[in-house]
Amino acid sequence: MDDADFIPLSALQHYLYCPRQCALIHLERLWEENAHTAQGRLLHDRADQPGAELRHGVRTLTALPLAQAELGIGGVADVVEMHARPDGPCLYPVEYKRGRPKSHRADEVQLCAQALCLEAMFGRAVPEGALYYGRARRRKVVCLDPALRQLTLETIQAVRAMFAAGRTPTARYLASRCDACSLIEHCQPRLLGRTDGVDAWLRDQLDGED
C-alpha cells in the first residue's frame, strides 16, 4: 500500500467523535486552534519529542512511529512502555488526552489502533493500554478486548470508505460535541445541520451525552 493511502491513527478518533470533523481535517485540510486544542498541544509537548529512557525496569519510548501495513494505518504513539518479562518485553501504549474520560469510545479506538500497529511491528500481543487525561491527571486503563478491536476495525473501514468517496458528511448539530469543536465556525452545524438525530452507526456511541 502506498504511504499516501495510509489512514492516520488520529483520523479514527476524529471519525468516531464526528465523521464531518474527520473529513474537514483530513479531506479538506482545515484546522483551527482553540483553548481545548491548545491545551491538548501543550500536554503533548513532552510526548511529542522522540526519546527513550529506562526507569525502574521500564523502558519508555516517546513519539514512536507506528504502522500496520495490512490494515493501512499509521501514526505516532505518544508513549510506549516496555515492561521487562522473562519471555520478552510487554508493550503498553499510553495516549495523552486533555480533559477527562469520555462516555464515547473514540479515544479508546485510537489507542486500540496503536496496539494493532505494535502487535504487527513487534510480534507480541498487546492486551492492555492506558489513556492519560490531563485535567483528571490520571490514567484510565483500557482493556483491548475483542469488542473494542472489532469497533476499531469497523472504524478503519468506515474512514477508508469516506476517504475513497472524497465527500464531507452533512453537518449535524450535537451540543455536547459541536460547542467544544475548534472547527465549529468552518462546519456551521447550526446553520447547515439538523438536530433531529445522528447517523445510525454512531447512535450507540452518542446515547446519554445530551
15 contact partners, CB below 8 Å, separation of at least 6: 22, 106, 155, 158, 159, 162
Domain carrying residue 154: 3-169
Sign of the CA dihedral with 138 first, then 152, 197, and 192 last: positive
In this structure, the answer to whether residues 24 and 113 fall within a common structural domain is yes
CB 33 within 8 A of CB 181: no
d(CA 132, CA 6): 26
Sign of the CA dihedral with 99 first, then 159, 150, and 206 last: positive
In this structure, the answer to whether residues 76 and 94 fall within a common structural domain is yes
In this structure, the answer to whether residues 46 and 88 fall within a common structural domain is yes
Give the three-class secondary structure for 39: helix
Task: Give residue 102's pLDDT band: very low, low, confident or very high (50, 70, 90).
Answer: confident
Instruction: Report in angstroms the alpha-carbon separations of 71 from 5, 63, 100, 153, 173.
Output: 10, 21, 30, 8, 31
Helices (H), the chain: 9-17, 19-26, 35-44, 106-122, 146-165, 175-178, 184-187, 189-192, 200-206
Cell of 20: 464531518
Q: What is the pLDDT of residue 1?
A: 57
Whether the predicted pLDDT of 118 surpasses 60: yes
Question: Which DSSP category does 105 fall into?
Answer: S
- Relative to beta strand 73-83, strand 128-133 is unpaired
Strand partners for 74: 8, 67
Mean pLDDT, rounded, for 70-95:
95
In this structure, the answer to whether residues 199 and 138 fall within a common structural domain is no
Give the CATH number, domain containing residue 120: 3.90.320
In this structure, the answer to whether residues 74 and 18 fall within a common structural domain is yes
Cell of 167: 465527500
**pLDDT per residue over 155-186, tens digit each?**
999 999 999 999 999 988 888 888 888 888 88
Q: How many domains does the chain have?
A: 2
In this structure, the answer to whether residues 74 and 121 fall within a common structural domain is yes
Q: What is the pLDDT of residue 4?
A: 65
CB 141 within 8 A of CB 130: yes
In this structure, the answer to whether residues 86 and 178 fall within a common structural domain is no
In this structure, the answer to whether residues 37 and 131 fall within a common structural domain is yes
In this structure, the answer to whether residues 33 and 98 fall within a common structural domain is yes
Question: Which DSSP category does 172 fall into?
Answer: B
d(CA 25, CA 31): 6
Strand partners for 75: 66
In this structure, the answer to whether residues 84 and 122 fall within a common structural domain is yes
**pLDDT per residue over 123-141, tens digit each?**
999 999 999 998 888 999 9
In this structure, the answer to whether residues 149 and 175 fall within a common structural domain is no
Q: What is the pLDDT of residue 197?
A: 45
